[in-house]
């Protein structure tokens, strides 16, 4: 294997690992709708895998092998110190699957089709609501990529004829909602329900008056109910 195609070969191996991880997840969780599984993998599971010890060490192997090949091709002695092992947040695929971030999804009963629900910020649990407030319902960004996502979400909301892409929600005790995936588009839709006279207050970080007058908006969502509790009736 030469210098030119080694990187392509290595990326192919990672693609195969990712595909295998997707297959394993679906085989172990056939009750999760395909859309939810796909969204979860790309937004959560994939990122966790890339922060795992096996993945980080595979990238080190890539770098070391490339360095060794470059050394040989330049006519120098092929002697390279063994790199220090990288330690990620997860030591195996099994540990990823057993993490709370994944089990809150896998240990839930899911409706197989999305449905329309009417919501205001007051329908969401405190941690979800805190994230809404931190980002001022799409009016604050942490970087350029985040700003672009907020902008796309806002543009999609304004296109009334466009079918709304669903979000992923867990329905907890007392019917309170926990948003799992789809923060940018949820905030964009919610901001539409903020009374015009209070929108500037929300953009300035003041929410009390708006919360007392917020109008419900329609949100298309896949709904899951954590196991161990009776599923809630559709709203």
Whole-number CA gyration radius for the chain: 23
d(CA 94, CA 98): 6
Of 97-106, 139-148, 169-178, minimum mean pLDDT range: 97-106
Instruction: Compute φ and ψ for 152, nearest 5 degrees.
Output: -65, -40
Cβ neighbours of residue 95 under 8 Å, at least 6 residues apart?
52
Range(s) for CATH 3.90.1530 in the chain? 107-226
Residue 30 reports pLDDT greater than 80 = yes
pLDDT for res 212: 96
Residue 220 scores a pLDDT above 50: yes
Q: Which helix (H) or strand (E) holds 224?
A: strand 217-226
Q: Which of 9-18, 118-127, 197-206 has the least mean pLDDT?
A: 9-18
CA end-to-end span of the chain: 59
**pLDDT tens across 94-133, in order?**
787 788 888 889 999 999 999 999 999 999 999 999 999 9
User: Of 52-66, 70-84, 149-163, 189-203, which one has max mean pLDDT?
Assistant: 189-203
Is 76's pLDDT higher than 90? no
Which CATH number applies to 107-226: 3.40.1130, 1.10.260, 3.90.1530, 1.20.140?
3.90.1530
* Size of the chain, expressed as the number of residues it contains: 235
pTM (predicted TM-score): 0.74
Helix, strand, or coil (residue 69): helix
pLDDT digits (tens, 9 = 90+) for 56-75: 777 655 444 444 344 333 33
């Amino acid at each position: 294997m030469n210098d030119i195609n080694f990187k392509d070969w290595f990326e192919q191996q990672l693609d195969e690992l990712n595909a295998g991880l997707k297959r394993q997840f679906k085989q172990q969780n056939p009750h999760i709708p395909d859309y939810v599984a796909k969204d979860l993998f790309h937004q959560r599971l994939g990122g966790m895998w890339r922060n795992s010890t096996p993945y980080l060490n595979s990238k080190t192997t890539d770098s070391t092998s490339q360095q060794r090949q470059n050394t040989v091709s330049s006519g120098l002695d092929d002697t390279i110190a063994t790199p220090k092992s990288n330690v990620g947040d997860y030591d195996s695929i099994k540990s990823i699957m057993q993490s709370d971030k994944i089990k809150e999804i896998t240990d839930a009963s899911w409706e197989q089709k999305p449905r329309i629900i009417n919501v205001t910020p007051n329908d969401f649990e405190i941690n979800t609501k805190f994230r809404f407030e931190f980002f001022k319902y799409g009016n604050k960004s942490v970087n350029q990529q985040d700003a672009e996502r907020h902008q796309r979400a806002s543009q999609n909301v304004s296109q009334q004829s466009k079918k709304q892409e669903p979000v992923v929600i867990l329905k907890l005790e007392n019917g309170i909602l926990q948003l799992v995936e789809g923060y940018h588009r949820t905030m964009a839709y919610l901001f539409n329900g903020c009374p015009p006279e209070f929108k500037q207050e929300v953009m300035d970080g003041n929410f009390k008056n708006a919360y007392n007058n917020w109008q419900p908006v329609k949100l298309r969502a896949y709904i899951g109910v954590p196991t161990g509790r009776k599923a809630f009736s559709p709203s």
